[in-house]
């Protein structure tokens, strides 16, 4: 199975640009590529999806054990011509080694291509290359791509690769093709005017200056053996889980949705912005993260949806509300300018803007009581990434970072999980099973009442 990992020296070096350029070039050749993102990122896979037309998936070695990682990559890439994986941060950056692009490359035995931002450098590029090649052994670094490299320096880059015994796989020149950023990273793909034209232009440039044939050759490698996870069997009844999905709520792991389907659930998407109530026969609710702060006025004005969500949650509807979804459940929540709007009123207090990232990164959650997702004392992994905070973050779980810091968080009982930490179900399939079972019980309860 052909697979390649596009890694980088640091965040902002051009990994997403190179990955999209490569995917576009492969598509222009008529090849069927599958796309992945290393780590918990939601936004980069949206750009991959725009290029290849099908969902891009996450691969995270902090969340998943080795067999699960290999299973997920194989599950989504086995029938494609090549799997292209975009790395995270710098190649070696991660939580205690796990979660890094290097870790994922080693677990899945995937050749890695390191992207170097060459702006302001010439010969010093060689020192950067040597550092990445020698810093940690073993590694799967198979070559380099040079971003923002002047054409007159391509010969130098090729010579440096030859001197260091690695492969020159091309470059991208400085360009006015840009992808804008905002407070949680890149803007979402749907918001960029002329995105398809930009992606097409990147693909044409990649054909000119990136060694596509060399990448395809490098990507050829036998796939490692793995044991797939086991999925509990459902009893035949299929609860309807309503999942918020629109421009305000767009941070959704496709693997979470697919796992719920494997567990016997029907998923129906709805928009808190434009719909007036939850889908008929809803037996579970997921309010995912996103940008409610950018659409606070519209969300607050849709009082019918707010009432529908509040009443159903008060009646015991099993609910997961993460980050932006958690903010939306407050009595009040602020927009980017500090203006205050009414929310669903499930969580007392308000969500408010801060000037810096709050509790950023991976965490391990420990439950203080039996709840919707697990039993008291059980743990599972999550991550946080937000500028907003709350007057009541909850206290039903303890979050601990890899450096030992910990704090209380999350509102959790038999019918709700609401807090800033995002969930990835493949980190603990039992949490998804517990949620699906609670939705199934709620469905039976409603049927019996009817």
Does residue 302 fall inside a structural domain? yes
Q: What is the mean pLDDT of residues 83-100?
A: 90
Closest CA to 423 of 256, 257, 259, 271: 256
DSSP helix/strand/coil, 427 = helix
Q: Same domain for 254 and 173? A: no
pLDDT of residue 196: 84
Least confident of 28-42, 92-106, 130-144, 298-312: 92-106
Q: Same domain for 285 and 364? A: yes
pLDDT of residue 96: 67
Does residue 286 fall inside a structural domain? yes
pLDDT of residue 403: 86
Least confident of 230-239, 281-290, 374-383, 438-447: 230-239
Angle between helix 15-28 and helix 195-209 axes, rounded to 10 deg = 80
pLDDT of residue 382: 96
Q: What percentage of residues in the chain have a pLDDT greater than 90?
A: 84
> Which phi and psi angles does 131 have, rounded to 5°?
-60, -45
Q: Quick one: tokens of 256?
A: 């979470």
Q: How many residues does the chain have?
A: 450
- What total number of domains does the chain contain? 2
pLDDT of residue 180: 59
Q: Same domain for 334 and 435? A: yes
194: exposed, middle or buried (C-beta count within 10 Å: 0-12, 13-18, 19+)? exposed
Domain containing 132: what range? 3-219
DSSP helix/strand/coil, 105 = helix
Q: Same domain for 45 and 182? A: yes
Distance between CA atoms of residues 287 and 299, nearest Å: 13
Q: Quick one: tokens of 374?
A: 């697990």
Does residue 229 fall inside a structural domain? no
242: exposed, middle or buried (C-beta count within 10 Å: 0-12, 13-18, 19+)? buried
Distance between CA atoms of residues 323 and 292, nearest Å: 10
Task: With beta carbons less than 8 A apart as the criterion, state whether 56 and 45 touch.
Answer: yes
Q: Same domain for 173 and 248? A: no
Q: Same domain for 337 and 439? A: yes
CATH of the domain at 11: 3.40.50.300
pLDDT of residue 434: 97
pLDDT of residue 156: 98
* pLDDT 10s digits, 128-186: 999 999 999 999 999 999 999 999 999 999 999 999 999 999 999 988 766 655 555 55
Q: Same domain for 173 and 99? A: yes
Task: With beta carbons less than 8 A apart as the criterion, state whether 306 and 287 touch.
Answer: no
**Active-site option among 118, 250, 323, 393:** 323
Name 408's bridge partners.
398
Does residue 224 fall inside a structural domain? no
Question: Which of these three, 219, 252, 280, is where a domain ends?
Answer: 219
Q: Please report, in angstroms and rounded to a whole number, the separation of the first and last CA atoms in the chain.
A: 52
CATH of the domain at 327: 3.40.50.880
The whole-chain average pLDDT of the chain stands at: 94
Q: What is the mean pLDDT of residues 262-276?
A: 97
pLDDT of residue 175: 82
Element at 67 (helix H, strand E): helix 66-77
DSSP string, 20-58: HHHHHHHHHTT--EEEEEESS-SHHHHHHHHHHSS--EE
Q: What is the mean pLDDT of residues 392-416?
A: 96
The verdict on pTM exceeding 0.75 is: yes
pLDDT of residue 94: 85
Q: Quick one: tokens of 281?
A: 């026969």
* pLDDT 10s digits, 296-328: 999 999 999 999 999 999 999 999 999 999 999
Q: Can 374 be counted among the known catalytic residues?
A: no
pLDDT tier, 46 (very low <50, low <70, confident <90, very high otherwise)? confident
* pLDDT 10s digits, 214-243: 999 999 999 999 999 998 877 778 999 999
Name 3's bridge partners.
83
Distance between CA atoms of residues 18 and 5, nearest Å: 11
Q: What angle do CA 252, 188, 400 make, to 5 degrees?
A: 50
pLDDT of residue 177: 67
Q: What is the mean pLDDT of residues 112-141?
A: 97
Q: What is the mean pLDDT of residues 383-403?
A: 93
Distance between CA atoms of residues 100 and 96, nearest Å: 9
pLDDT of residue 408: 97
Question: For the chain, what is the total number of helices (H) and then of strands (E)?
Answer: 13, 24
Q: Same domain for 55 and 176? A: yes
Q: Same domain for 323 and 176? A: no
pLDDT of residue 368: 98
Q: What percentage of residues in the chain have a pLDDT greater than 70?
A: 96
DSSP string, 283-344: EEEEE-BS-GGGSHHHHHH-HHHHHHHHHHHHTT--EEEETHHHHHTEEEEE-TTS-EEE--
pLDDT tier, 420 (very low <50, low <70, confident <90, very high otherwise)? very high
């Amino acid at each position: 199975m052909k697979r390649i990992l596009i890694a980088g020296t640091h965040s902002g070096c051009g990994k997403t640009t190179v990955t999209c350029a490569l995917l576009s070039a492969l598509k222009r050749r008529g090849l069927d590529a599958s796309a992945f993102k290393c780590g918990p990122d939601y936004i980069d896979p949206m750009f991959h999806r725009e290029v290849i037309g099908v969902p891009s998936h996450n691969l995270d070695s902090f969340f998943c054990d080795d067999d699960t990682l290999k299973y997920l990559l194989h599950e989504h890439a086995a029938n494609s011509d090549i799997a292209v994986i975009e790395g995270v941060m710098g190649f070696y950056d991660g939580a205690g080694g796990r979660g890094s692009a290097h870790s994922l490359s080693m677990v899945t035995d995937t050749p890695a291509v390191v992207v170097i931002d060459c702006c302001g450098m010439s010969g010093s590029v060689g020192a950067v290359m040597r550092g990445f090649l020698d810093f940690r052994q073993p590694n799967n670094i198979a070559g380099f791509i040079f971003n923002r490299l002047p054409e007159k320096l391509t010969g130098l880059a090729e010579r440096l690769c030859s001197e260091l015994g690695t492969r020159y796989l091309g470059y991208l020149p400085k360009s006015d093709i840009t992808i804008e950023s905002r407070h949680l990273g890149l803007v979402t793909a749907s918001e960029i005017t002329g995105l398809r034209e930009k992606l097409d232009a990147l693909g044409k440039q990649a054909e000119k200056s990136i060694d596509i044939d060399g990448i395809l050759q490098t990507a050829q490698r036998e796939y490692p053996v793995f044991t797939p996870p086991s999925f509990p069997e459902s009893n035949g009844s299929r609860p309807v889980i309503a999942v918020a999905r629109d421009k305000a709520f767009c941070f959704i792991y496709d693997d979470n949705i697919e796992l719920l389907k494997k567990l016997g659930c029907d998923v129906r998407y709805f928009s808190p912005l434009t719909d007036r109530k939850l889908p008929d026969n809803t037996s579970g609710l997921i309010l995912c993260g996103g940008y409610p702060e950018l659409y606070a006025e519209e969300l607050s004005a849709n009082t019918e949806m707010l009432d529908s969500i509040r009443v159903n949650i008060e009646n015991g509807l099993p609910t997961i509300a993460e980050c932006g979804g958690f903010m939306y459940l407050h009595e009040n929540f602020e927009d980017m300018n500090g203006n205050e709007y009414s929310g669903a009123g499930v969580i007392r207090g308000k969500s408010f803007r801060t000037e810096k990232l709050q509790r950023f990164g991976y965490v391990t959650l420990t439950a203080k009581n039996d709840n919707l997702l697990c039993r008291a004392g059980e743990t599972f992994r999550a991550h946080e990434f937000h500028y907003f905070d709350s007057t009541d973050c909850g206290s039903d779980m303890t979050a601990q970072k890899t450096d030992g810091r910990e704090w209380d968080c999350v509102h959790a009982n038999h019918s709700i999980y609401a807090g800033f930490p995002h969930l990835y179900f493949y980190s603990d399939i039992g949490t998804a099973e517990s949620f699906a079972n609670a939705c199934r019980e709620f469905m039976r309860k409603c049927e019996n009442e009817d």
